[in-house]
Chain A
Amino acid sequence: MSQMQQELEEELAVTAAAPEKPKGRKARARAKKGKAPLTHDGLPVRQVTWQARMRRDKQMLLMMIPGVLFLALFFYIPILGNVIAFQDYQPFLGIGGSDWVGMQNFVDLYFNPDFWVAFRNTIVLALWQLLFFFPVPLGLALVVDSLISTKIRRWFQSLVYLPHFLSWVLVIALFQQVLGGAGLVNNTLRDFGLDTIPFMTNPDTFPLLATIQLIWKECGWAMIIFLASLAAIDGSLYEAAAADGAGRWRRMWHITLPGLRSIIVLLLILRIGDILSVGFEQFLLQHDAVGPGAAEVLDTFTYFAGVVGGGWSVGAAAGLAKGIVAALLIWGANSLAHRMGEPGIFQKKVS
């Protein structure tokens, strides 16, 4: 940074901060206090010491203990456990006794072809999901929203939400019974003397199968959020447009889609931020049937390398790398949403 630029910035900072700088400690404290929220019993904030607040909020603080304990044990301490990614971790030596190897595990990962297979599969599956899963709930929501009979509508909604509540094991079991080698479809084909189709075991068509499974399980549930935004569109807009002679497609183009714009942008950005997480149980369950060449994703790689294979440190390195990239992507996607004027998931000020 050049000298001039720095000076200029300093000057700007001073002029920006100057007018609202109260003089004296008490005045500053009062200015700060003016912005402070009400206390939890709704009374205005008086000048209280933190000891007094502690005494007052004693029971509320007690209520936080179970949750904080959970977060410490099953979130924050395990996060620290990620240091084994920089060690040659040996279970019998523990974290304290294992040797430090610096970035060696990440270097090993970089030269491990299996890791790149998992990485490629993850990206391929994520793109499939983005292109072929993402639009389906939107389209379905438009169809459901256009249903006039409330009876059919309610009945259909309850039916399509159901698969969301079935476990992946159950979903794969159901798919096997219908599409598997001894399943309904192949049995029927065999009865007619035709060749069977290996839907569930062909690695080449696996992304298609995985996307269809995801659509079957989640598209109804994903529709809820679109239905809610559709319901929020002002009905008189449609009435006015119809009075001006707009047909159904015109109304959809000029009213419905602009009304959904913000939610579509938000969900799209969130999905892109979350692109490294394509799902885990679904791929673990089909890992054997399809083979690791198609069904190995980053999460299953971590599991097989670490827990099954005993390469704890390499597995942890893969998990940590994925976690950091994913957090950066989510954060970046959220900033992008802010920049586009959408609320995002993490507001600047959490209310």
Chain B
Amino acid sequence: MASTLQLRRKASRRAQGLSFNSNRPAWKEPASPLYNTIKGLIIGGITLTIVIPILLVVSTSLADDKQLIAAGGFVLWPTNPTFAAYEAIFSGEFMFRALGVSAFITAVGTFLALFTTITMAYATSRPVLFGRPVLLLVLFTLLFAPGLIPMFLMVKQLGLLNTLWSLILPSAFAAFNFVVMRSFFMNIPTELIEAARIDGASDFMILRKIVLPLSKAVIAVVGLFYAVGFWNAFFNAVLYINDQTLYPVQLVLRNYVVQGGSMAEAIGVATTPPPQSMQMAIVVVALVPILVVYPFLQKHFNKGVITGAVKG
């Protein structure tokens, strides 16, 4: 908020031909070079620690044989970019199948999770019969966790072991996302709902025609949280999946990059590109969907959706 003092100061500066740094409030002393240097170092340093590993991985996956050998395994910029590593990892069915599994889990899981979260959040956001006890049932999950072994036994009992549903159903609802969604629904004015009710709309109709169109932003954010969660899910796959053909991308990443298993066997190709760049190519395959979705997600962060939920 620009104060009058600030505006006047800005105007006088402009008159003197000194119209720079106009965002600084009038009462704030100009930054000294020392502070600016320290701040610049912090900001720049953090930027580099995030950018360099990602750049390293992408570049190495694209680098050709000769450059890799000359550079000793890693390059920060590919001089002759080649897609040989990607062709190699996608030459067998293996990687395609892993991508398909991850895409399926992410799409179906996000849809189901949004469905349970939206219906549950809307039903408990209005004072209805059983609303309070059901809400307490949900909030209790924030306090206690059933534990890994009982969960495993339950999934086994339901016959979900070694099926894709074991990666979807146990994560099809998250109390945190429920709280975000519900606190948004509670801020929708009662008058709107009342008016629709008088016009004869049922609860389903109100949810579909009034509440959902008003909640596009929060649905986008929660949906993307779920999608990222499903894409990144790793431990559930370790726990519930033995069958190699059902491996999601994260598990492939663990087995062939983190643990350094031999990819040539699994994929069934003689390794023409160096294993290093093939490993990097798998990392990039796991990374790219997040990088693609991220800008959309990012747009909503500062709207207070997340912090609003934390305040309760």
Binds A, one of B10-18, B47-55, B264-272: B47-55
Task: Name which of A67, A156, A225, A343 has the most chain B CB atoms within 10 A of its CB.
Answer: A67
Contact (Cβ within 8 A) B52 A178: yes
B78 beta carbon closer than 8 Å to chain A? no
B80 beta carbon closer than 8 Å to chain A? no
Please name all residues of chain A whose beta carbon is closer than 8 Å to the beta carbon of B146 when the two chains form the complex. Answer: 74-75, 78-79, 81-82, 323
Q: Which of B139, B147, B203, B250 contacts A320 (CB 8 A)?
A: B147
Contact (Cβ within 8 A) A235 B1: yes
Assembled-state Cα–Cα distance A152/B127 (Å): 45
B142 beta carbon closer than 8 Å to chain A? yes
Binds A, one of B89-97, B215-223, B286-294: B286-294
Assuming A152-B43, A173-B253, is B173 touching A70 (CB within 8 A)? yes
Assembled-state Cα–Cα distance A168/B287 (Å): 12
Contact (Cβ within 8 A) B73 A187: yes
Assuming A71-B137, A187-B73, A228-B307, is B154 touching A161 (CB within 8 A)? no
B82 beta carbon closer than 8 Å to chain A? no
A265 beta carbon closer than 8 Å to chain B? no
Contact (Cβ within 8 A) B152 A307: yes
A113 beta carbon closer than 8 Å to chain B? no
Contact (Cβ within 8 A) B27 A143: no
Q: Which of B3, B47, B131, B304 contacts A156 (CB 8 A)?
A: B47
Contact (Cβ within 8 A) A303 B254: no
Please name all residues of chain B whose beta carbon is closer than 8 Å to the beta carbon of A346 when the two chains form the complex. Answer: 139, 142-143
Please name all residues of chain B whose beta carbon is closer than 8 Å to the beta carbon of A247 when the two chains form the complex. Answer: 29
Interface residues of B in 52-66 (CB under 8 A from A): 52-54, 56-57, 60
Please name all residues of chain B whose beta carbon is closer than 8 Å to the beta carbon of A182 when the two chains form the complex. Answer: 73
Task: Name which of A53, A78, A150 has the most chain B CB atoms within 10 A of its CB.
Answer: A78
Please name all residues of chain A whose beta carbon is closer than 8 Å to the beta carbon of B239 when the two chains form the complex. Answer: 303, 307
Please name all residues of chain A whose beta carbon is closer than 8 Å to the beta carbon of B124 when the two chains form the complex. Answer: 64
Please name all residues of chain B whose beta carbon is closer than 8 Å to the beta carbon of A284 when the two chains form the complex. Answer: 235, 238
Which of under 10, 10 to 19, 20 to 34, or 35 or more describes the interface residues of A? 35 or more
Q: Which of A43, A63, A174, A242 contacts B119 (CB 8 A)?
A: A63
Which partner residue on chain A sits nearest B6 by CB separation?
A239
Assembled-state Cα–Cα distance A76/B150 (Å): 10
Interface string of A139-177 (1 = CB under 8 A from B): 010010011111010001111111101111110111111
Contact (Cβ within 8 A) B74 A60: no
Contact (Cβ within 8 A) A79 B27: no
Contact (Cβ within 8 A) B310 A306: no
Which partner residue on chain B sits nearest A240 by CB separation?
B27
Please name all residues of chain A whose beta carbon is closer than 8 Å to the beta carbon of B135 when the two chains form the complex. Answer: 350
Contact (Cβ within 8 A) A73 B154: yes
Total contacting residues, chain B, CB less than 8 A: 109
Contact (Cβ within 8 A) B134 A170: no
Please name all residues of chain A whose beta carbon is closer than 8 Å to the beta carbon of B190 when the two chains form the complex. Answer: 38, 42
Interface residues of A in 49-84 (CB under 8 A from B): 50, 53-54, 56-57, 59-61, 63-64, 66-68, 70-71, 73-82, 84
Assembled-state Cα–Cα distance A80/B139 (Å): 18
Contact (Cβ within 8 A) A162 B27: no
Assembled-state Cα–Cα distance A303/B3 (Å): 59
Which partner residue on chain B sits nearest A324 by CB separation?
B144
Please name all residues of chain B whose beta carbon is closer than 8 Å to the beta carbon of A216 when the two chains form the complex. Answer: 49-50
Assembled-state Cα–Cα distance A303/B152 (Å): 10
Interface string of B67-106 (1 = CB under 8 A from A): 0000011100000000000000000000000000000000
B306 beta carbon closer than 8 Å to chain A? yes
Please name all residues of chain A whose beta carbon is closer than 8 Å to the beta carbon of B120 when the two chains form the complex. Answer: 63-64, 66-68
Contact (Cβ within 8 A) B134 A302: no
Contact (Cβ within 8 A) B25 A239: yes
Assembled-state Cα–Cα distance A312/B153 (Å): 10
A40 beta carbon closer than 8 Å to chain B? yes
B312 beta carbon closer than 8 Å to chain A? yes
Assembled-state Cα–Cα distance A319/B151 (Å): 11
Please name all residues of chain B whose beta carbon is closer than 8 Å to the beta carbon of A59 when the two chains form the complex. Answer: 202-204
Which partner residue on chain B sits nearest A68 by CB separation?
B134
Assembled-state Cα–Cα distance A315/B149 (Å): 7
Contact (Cβ within 8 A) A350 B139: yes
Please name all residues of chain B whose beta carbon is closer than 8 Å to the beta carbon of A331 when the two chains form the complex. Answer: 143
Contact (Cβ within 8 A) B119 A64: yes
Assembled-state Cα–Cα distance A168/B50 (Å): 15
Contact (Cβ within 8 A) A67 B203: no
Across the A-B interface, the 3 shortest Cβ-Cβ residue pairs: A67-B120, A81-B150, A40-B126
**New A-B contacts (15) at CB < 8 Å, excluding given A162-B294, A238-B25, A312-B149:** A41-B197, A53-B128, A57-B130, A60-B203, A66-B119, A70-B169, A73-B169, A143-B42, A147-B39, A163-B50, A184-B74, A238-B28, A284-B238, A288-B259, A307-B152
> Could you list 7 examples of A-B contacts with CB < 8 Å?
A63-B120, A63-B204, A84-B149, A169-B286, A302-B147, A307-B148, A315-B149
Q: Which residues of A does B touch, CB under 8 Å?
A: 37-43, 50, 53-54, 56-57, 59-61, 63-64, 66-68, 70-71, 73-82, 84, 140, 143, 146-150, 152, 156-163, 165-170, 172-178, 182-184, 187, 190-191, 216, 224-225, 228, 235, 238-239, 242-243, 247-248, 280-281, 284-285, 288, 299, 302-303, 306-307, 312, 315-316, 319-320, 322-323, 326-327, 330-331, 343, 345-347, 350-351
Q: Which residues of B does A touch, CB under 8 Å?
A: 1, 3, 21, 23-25, 27-29, 31, 39, 42-43, 46-47, 49-54, 56-57, 60, 72-74, 115-117, 119-120, 122-124, 126-132, 134-139, 141-154, 158, 169-170, 172-173, 178, 186, 190-191, 193-194, 197, 202-204, 207, 228, 231-235, 238-239, 250, 253-254, 257-259, 280, 283, 286-287, 290, 294-295, 297-298, 301-302, 304, 306-307, 310-312
